[in-house]
Structure 1
Amino acid sequence: MTLLPATVPASLLSVHRLDPASAGWGFRVDHAVATAAGETYVLSGLRRCRAHADGSADPAEQDFGYQLITRCTTDGTPTACAVFGQAVPGGAPSVLPESSEATLAVLPDGAIAVSSPPGSTHLLSPDLDEVLVSWPMPWSLTRQEDCREDPFAASIAVTPAGRLLCMVSEYGISNWAGARPNIVAVSGPGTTLGTGHKPVLHAVATLDARTDRQGDADRHTHVRYGDAPVWRGNRPSPSLTQALSELTGTSGSLHGYLDSSMSRPAALGDDLFVVPVFGAMYRSGNRGQEFSFALVDDGGVLRGRLGGLHRYEDSPFTGLNFTVVADPYRGRAFHLNRYGLYAWTADGVLRARIPTADKPFKPLVHFKLLECSPAGELLLAHRKQHLVLRVPVPQDLDGLAPAVEAALKSYGRERTALKKRYAPVNWLWPDSSAVVGHL
């Protein structure tokens, strides 16, 4: 099947006596990754919030906020589910915090990395029954002296050679409070990440070089530029903010790259990466604001941008769709927003633009782009129906539009089959087959 549900353990629904037909709860799909063998790990979140629940000792009345990772077989059957974010009633405290910005990565040894801003990384066993090691970096407006902080990365992507492409946060950036994603760094080939193994990351790009506020404690010893940790002036130069401003001729413009942000970098290969960079956002509206999907190599050279996008007509700011995914085995990059699905080759040339205004592709506006699988499939999640759609990408990107159209046509048929199997209410898909572990 090309469709699989983001399920919730029936036991979890039972302990809280959650009625899907009632109000006050919400479910989301955050991310998904696939293994080379075709298994899928889906990261999702389940919350309930009701004003009258404060202080209640009854699990049926309590508010909660869980995050779930569900392992599915090649045919979409759930086999294991890790529940974390808070203690299950009667259980021990959760080791892993909940984060709606968390993402997954499948490491070369099969372990699952869960990373979230500003820089926490946790490794789970492939069966999702054990936390192997954690490098925590909790949210804070300022660095806390008494806080146990040992960060690794805010996000991880794995290249074919086993290099870890990471986004790393820093304190003391310009006038920003707290730690902010600011460094793109990569490990060496065949890197081992695990208990007792925290590899050195080599910085290849910095977003913002305004670091005069950084103190001695703001060094990350595992992130290096040259022979020393990245800190203050010891970092790749020019910054992406400066380089993209010059490339686009927007230096000093209100719609330029000053105070810009970046989202999770994607690997186009072992030595070429895509870094999504977005200009500052304003209350008055942001469609038409500057953005770039920058191409950066492992030597820190800006090779250009993914081309062919119009700043207004293809704006990712509508709906805040800032994700770019890549297929490093075939050298392709993809982006989905309210206006279209886009595909590029590794040289940055736009090879496919599928407008969501065209009738066959209008359903795409309901989907969120999650990831690209090792088999070259796009993983899309329906925002309301909580189903993950796998879209095979043809070798020739000229055939992407027919492939997407075929996948969307099969969506309704496969959804009907899943509804008969799971009997969802309000698109909440209960499951009793997966082994559930509380982490």
Structure 2
Amino acid sequence: MTLFPITVPSSLAASLGLDPTNDEWGQEIRHAVGTEAGDTYVLSGLWRHDRRRAEDGGQGFVLQLITRHTPDGETAATAVIPYEVPGGTRSVISWGDESRLALLPDGTLVLSSRPGNTHLLAPGLDRLLAGWRMSTYSWTKDEGGLPDDPFAASVAVTPGGRLLCLATETSLENWGVPIANLVAVTDPGAVLAPGHKPVLRALTTLSTSADRQSEEDARPHVRHGDAPVLRDNRPPSLLEQLPGLAGGTAYDWNRAFLRRPAPLSDELYVVPVYGRTYRSGSRGQRFAFTLLDDRGTVRGRLDGMDRYQDSPYTGHLFDLTTDPHRGRAFHLNRYGLYAWTADGALRAKLPTTEAPFKALTHFSLLAATPAGELLLAHRKQHLLLRVPAPADLADLPAAVAEALAGLAKGRNAAKRRHAPENWLWSEEAGAVHHL
């Protein structure tokens, strides 16, 4: 077990005038990815509300930070990504919802977000190598001289280097914004690199109501057969198979939505599908972690979760992560940590109602590393916990219980070193790059 804080460069905190003793600032650890060598990239958000005080010159800001940590948790480098650069101009790194990280086989870091922003960063976090963007609203197109040129809303990498992607479409149903509607994958050997977008072969879709689409809605790199996905030229809808796979009727799955697909191998993927959310509460709503192969055939689902007792809708904890090197999937929500093998069988369930696992309610599950570790982030204390996942998932409860039992000792050691204020961990370590 390794525990380390996600730090903010002290020079950055000073230049922003960040006062950790007030309640106007916030930090959120959003995603992480591990390298073969044991390093960890962590994506986090840092902000302060724009409630200005004339007497102290307070000013709001919104940033994303990517930190690279060595295997022992030391901060090696930090990339600072503003929403706007001074003067009010949008950053060349486009922002969107649900930002996620991935690593290409050559070590290049991929930052993706909805509706179709994809950026390539150098491993040292010192350079932006390439970027493709997509506007959420039509009236923001060409903003800052950057026309729409999307790649994918999310990117995950299989052990063999294929890219498993979530792609958006426009002019669907009555929606006026891009909708994440397609699961797609690259062919073996295809490369994403500066100046080159590989073809994404669409495997499945949700909505098929695309009568309003025109040629302007086509994305040449997202294809079904020999042509771009457009109107009727699209793969079969996953929605049509969900009632038989996970119960309910077509109405129960109306307005369902996709979250980031994750690979179990080069040819098998998990596609999370969730029924619509309701303002009055959605616990008990249907969901399915669908198993899909690289031909678009549904191979089943991850079994063993009760849609009410194990509902991910409490807190909207929808993310699922996989360890494609070992063919395993993991999910953490308010009710427990769940682990499956590639056949869809639930092999471990760690209920948060049991004493050894109660602390899991404070964590988010970010990723599984190539070494087989689970990366968990403490939502309030901004700590990253690396937990070795045993080869036999039946031993996972003991491993997680041991890691959580050592949490207080590791946290106290970090506090003695960094002396955080209000859980803002500040240090000047490694290079700081403003992108």
TM-score band by shorter chain is over 0.9
TM-score (structure 2 length as normaliser) = 0.96
Q: Aligned residue for 1:334?
A: 330
* 1:182-239 CA distance string (max 9 Å, x none): 11100122332111221111111112212112111111100111111111111111x1
Name the structure 2 match of 1:2: 2
Cα distance in 2 for partners of 1:26, 1:277 equals 30
Asked if 1:233 is matched to 2:232, the reply is: yes
1:32 aligns with 2:32: yes
Query: 2:343 matched to 1:347?
Result: yes
Name the residue aligned to 2:216.
Answer: 217
Identity %: 54
SS of the residue aligned with 1:364? helix
Tell me what 1:66 maps to. Answer: 63
- Residues 245 and 301 in structure 2, CA contact (< 8 A), matched pair in contact too: no
Other-structure match for 1:368 = 364
Aligned to 2:13: 13
Residue 153 of structure 1 is matched in structure 2 by 152
SS of equivalent to 1:221: coil
Mapped pair 1:385 → 2:384: no
Question: Which residue of structure 1 lines up, in the alignment, with residue 269 of structure 2?
Answer: 273
1:106 paired to 2:103: yes
Measured in 1, the distance between the counterparts of 2:105 and 2:163 equals 10
- Number of equivalences: 433
C-alpha change, 1:60 and 1:390, in structure 2 (3 Å) is farther
Alpha-carbon shift at residue 412 of structure 1 (Å)? 1.2
What residue identity is the alignment partner of 1:70?
Answer: T
Partner of 1:436 in structure 2? 432
Q: Which moved more, 1:240-249 or 1:341-350?
A: 240-249
Q: How far has the Cα of 1:138 moved from its partner?
A: 2.3
Q: Is the 8 A contact 2:219 2:229 kept in 1?
A: yes
Deviation at 1:94, TM superposition (A): 3.1
8 Å Cα contact 2:265-2:324 kept in structure 1: yes
**How well do the aligned residues superpose, as a CA RMSD in angstroms?**
1.9
| Structure 2: gaps spanning 5 or more residues | none
Deviations 1:216-272 (A, max 9, x none): 1111100111111111111111x111110233342244xx11100111000000000
Whole-Å separation in 1 of the counterparts to 2:96 and 2:417: 30
Q: Does the 8 Å CA contact 1:394/1:400 hold for their aligned counterparts?
A: yes
Question: 1:163 — aligned with what?
Answer: 162
Does the CA-based 8 Å contact 2:67-2:79 persist in structure 1? yes
Q: List per-residue Cα deviations over 1:16-49 (Å, max 9, x = no partner).
A: 2211112211111011111010000000011011
Alpha-carbon distance in 2 for matches of 1:64, 1:301 = 45
1:85 corresponds, among 62, 82, 87, to 82
**Is contact 2:340–2:346 with CA below 8 Å preserved after alignment?**
yes
The answer to whether the Cα contact below 8 Å between 1:9 and 1:430 also exists between their aligned partners in 2 is yes
SS of aligned partner of 1:365:
helix
TM superposition shift of 1:100:
5.2
Who is 1:283 aligned against? 279
AA matched with 2:351: P
Give how far 1:279 is off: 0.2
For residue 102 of structure 2, what is the amino acid of its counterpart?
A
In the TM superposition, residue 87 of structure 1 has moved relative to its aligned partner by 5.0
Question: TM-score by structure 1 length?
Answer: 0.95
CA drift at 1:291: 0.3
1:144-192 CA-to-partner distances (Å, cap 9, x unmatched) read 4886000001111100110000000110122222001111100122332
Aligned positions of 1:47-66 closer than 5 A: 47-52=47-52, 60-66=57-63
